[in-house]
């Protein structure tokens, strides 16, 4: 199934989702609508994107959740900050027979994220009108989904018991939902969660496209110094994150850049500071001028230097967008939605590993860097173990 390309109103898109949720093969067709970079999402506001995403994800409760949809569902649960989106992800998961351990972890994460950020929402239609006929809240739906899994969710009973005692955090009706679930779990024979990861556990790998022109893209760094993509990203491996300074989701860009700073520290502790370059590139190059890049990074602990720079693309952003297949789209004024994305590039600027969609883990990226080091002709110098050799470019298959 290929997603529709022509512009559609929010009402039409809602009608399409309603049709697919009852159509044979609808699950896969709904999954094809998930990538945020699809042209149908261009020029919508961030609020509209949140509403559509919640409505779309909730439809998987009727169709079942195809494997291709799981990374998106977990992304919304773990990093969503809009109640309707998180609620949609929680409702959609009821299309699964059994949760994996990471699905249960994502549900708990959603409860944490929603404390103080919950809101009354409704899935009675794609654009419900206040007052809602069938109101609910994101927290309610998350807790109900835990209850839906019954004995398969028994592994997180201790955490639920802890939540049930936090009367200062949750409204009465949510506490009652939690207690209802606990009561139901009390009579259950615990079953382990389904084995394995719910989705792409390892970093995705991508071939460098033929005729790639990204190397000529012109970048401007946090000090307004110009360079080209090829000039900075060739010669040594690099870690590059994408972000924008106006991102209002605390679980995405701000966290990504804070973790990039943590990664910088970890690399330094291991004597690898000079061996790997760090970079972050903004999705919003017209607004994110050098001073904004610098302030955003410095505020989150990044130490700038020759090998640690933030960039805006002044020429060739479309090439970079295509090259990385960036999970981003734009409203009339700025980014309307994006995924978390961090890439490990080899010494020729090719993608060696991608950490996308779900929040990345500093240790996992560090392991990928070390893995890349081992598969290249790397030598260690002296007791500090500093990597001193030139890194060889890796073919994707050898990582």
Partner 1 sequence: MSEQAAERLEAELRRQTDAARAAQSRYLSELAATAAANRPDPGLETFRSQPEQEPAMAVLTDTALPAEQRVEVLRRLGASLSRRAEYIEALLAIVRDRGDDAAVRSVALQTLGGAAFQVVRFRPHQQAYDDVLHDLVDDPVPELRETAVGVLAQQHDPVVQATLLGALRGDGPLPVERERAILLLAEDDHLDNLPWLQELYRNDSASVRAEAVRFMGSYPDAEPTLEGILRNKDEAPSVRQQSGAALRFLTPERFEAVAKEISTDPSDDPDVRTACLSALQHLGDTDRLYADADFVNRVREVRGDESAPQLAQVARDLLAQRPEP
Chain residues binding partner 1 by CB under 8 A are: 43, 45-47, 50-51, 82, 84, 115-116, 118-120, 127, 130-131, 137, 167-172, 246, 248, 286-287, 289, 291, 331-336
Distance CA 114, CA 82 (A): 9
Torsion of CA 19, 24, 27, 28, to 10 degrees: -110
Specify the residue for token string 């990861």. 197
- Give the residue ranges of DSSP H helices in 165-304: 172-186, 229-233, 253-269, 290-299
Q: How far is the CB of 120 from partner 1 (least distance, A)?
A: 5
- Specify the residue, 168 or 306, whose C-beta has the smaller distance to partner 1: 168
214 vs 336, beta carbon nearer partner 1? 336
Cα 156 → chain centroid: 23
User: Which is nearest to 86 in space by CA: 159, 141, 31, 156?
Assistant: 141
Least distance from partner 1 to the Cβ atom of residue 308, Å? 24
The residue (of 69 and 335) whose beta carbon lies closer to partner 1 is 335
* Residue 284 CB, nearest approach to partner 1 (Å): 9
- Can you tell me the distance from the alpha carbon of 164 to that of 158, in angstroms, rounded to the nearest whole number? 10
Give the Cα separation of 168 and 110 in Å (integer): 18
Task: With H, G, I as helix, E, B as strand and everything else as coil, classify residue 356.
Answer: strand
- How far apart CA 348 and CA 232 sit, in angstroms, is 10
Q: Which is nearer to partner 1, 114 or 387 (CB)?
A: 114
The least CB distance from residue 128 to partner 1, in Å, is 9
Least spacing, CB of residue 341 vs partner 1, in Å? 19
CA angle 368, 300, 227 (to 5 degrees): 70
Q: Cβ 164 to partner 1, closest distance in Å? A: 13
For residue 287, the tally of other CB atoms under 10 A from its CB is 15
Residue nearer to partner 1 on the CB measure, 168 or 269: 168
What minimum distance in Å lies between the beta carbon of 368 and partner 1? 33
CB of residue 58 to partner 1, shortest distance in Å: 16
Q: How many Å is the Cα radius of gyration of the chain?
A: 22
The closest of 322, 325, 395, 335 to 356, measured between CA atoms, is 325
* Of residues 155 and 289, the one with the C-beta less far from partner 1: 289
How far apart CA 46 and CA 67 sit, in angstroms, is 26
Least gap, CB of 137 to partner 1 (angstroms): 6
Complex with partner 1: residue 39 or 385, whichever CB lies closer:
39
DSSP class of residue 305 equals B
Which lies closer to partner 1 via its Cβ, residue 130 or residue 383? Answer: 130
The minimum distance between CB 36 and partner 1, in angstroms, equals 14
The answer to whether 325 and 331 are in contact (CB under 8 A) is: no
Tell me whether residue 207 or residue 286 sits nearer to partner 1 (CB atom).
286
Q: How many residues does the chain have?
A: 399
Cα dihedral 126→129→134→135 (10° resolution): 100
Q: How far apart are CA 72 and CA 325, in angstroms?
A: 16
Closer of 131 and 383 to partner 1 (Cβ): 131
In whole angstroms, give the CA distance from residue 312 to residue 52.
Answer: 29
């Amino acid at each position: 199934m290929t997603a529709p390309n022509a512009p559609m109103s929010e009402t039409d898109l809602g009608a399409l989702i309603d049709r697919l949720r009852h159509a044979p093969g609808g699950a896969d067709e709904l999954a094809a609508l998930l990538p945020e970079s699809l042209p149908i999402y261009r020029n919508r506001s961030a609020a509209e994107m949140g509403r559509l995403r919640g409505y779309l994800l909730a439809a998987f409760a009727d169709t079942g959740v195809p494997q291709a949809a799981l990374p998106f569902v977990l992304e919304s649960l773990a990093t969503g900050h809009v109640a309707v989106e998180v609620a949609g992800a929680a409702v959609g998961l009821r299309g699964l027979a059994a949760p994996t351990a990471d699905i249960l972890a994502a549900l708990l994460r959603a409860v944490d994220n929603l404390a103080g950020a919950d809101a009354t929402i409704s899935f009675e239609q794609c654009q419900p009108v206040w007052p809602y006929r069938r109101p609910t809240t994101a927290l309610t739906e998350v807790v109900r989904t835990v209850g839906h899994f019954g004995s398969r969710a028994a592994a997180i009973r201790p955490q639920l018991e802890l939540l049930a005692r936090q009367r200062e955090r949750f409204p009465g009706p949510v506490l009652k939902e939690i207690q209802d679930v606990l009561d139901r779990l009390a009579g259950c024979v615990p079953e382990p969660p389904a084995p394995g990861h719910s989705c792409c556990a390892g970093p995705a790998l991508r071939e460098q496209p033929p005729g790639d022109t990204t190397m000529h893209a012109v970048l401007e760094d946090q000090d307004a110094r110009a360079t080209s993509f090829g000039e900075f990203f060739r010669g040594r491996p690099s870690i590059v994150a994408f972000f924008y300074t106006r991102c209002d989701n605390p679980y995405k860009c701000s966290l990504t850049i804070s973790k990039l700073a943590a990664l910088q520290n970890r690399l330094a502790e291991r004597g690898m500071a000079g061996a790997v370059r760090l970079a972050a590139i903004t999705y919003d190059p017209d607004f994110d001028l050098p001073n904004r890049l610098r302030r955003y990074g410095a505020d989150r602990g990044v130490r700038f230097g020759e090998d640690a720079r933030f960039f805006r693309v002044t020429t060739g952003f479309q090439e970079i967008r295509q090259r990385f297949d960036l999970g981003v789209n734009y409203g009339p004024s700025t980014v309307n939605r994006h995924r978390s994305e961090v890439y490990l590039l080899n010494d020729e600027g090719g993608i060696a590993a991608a950490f996308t969609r779900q929040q990345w883990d500093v240790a996992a990226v560090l392991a990928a860097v070390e893995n890349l080091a081992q598969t290249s002709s790397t030598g260690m110098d002296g007791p500090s173990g500093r990597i001193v050799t030139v890194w060889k470019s890796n073919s994707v298959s050898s990582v």
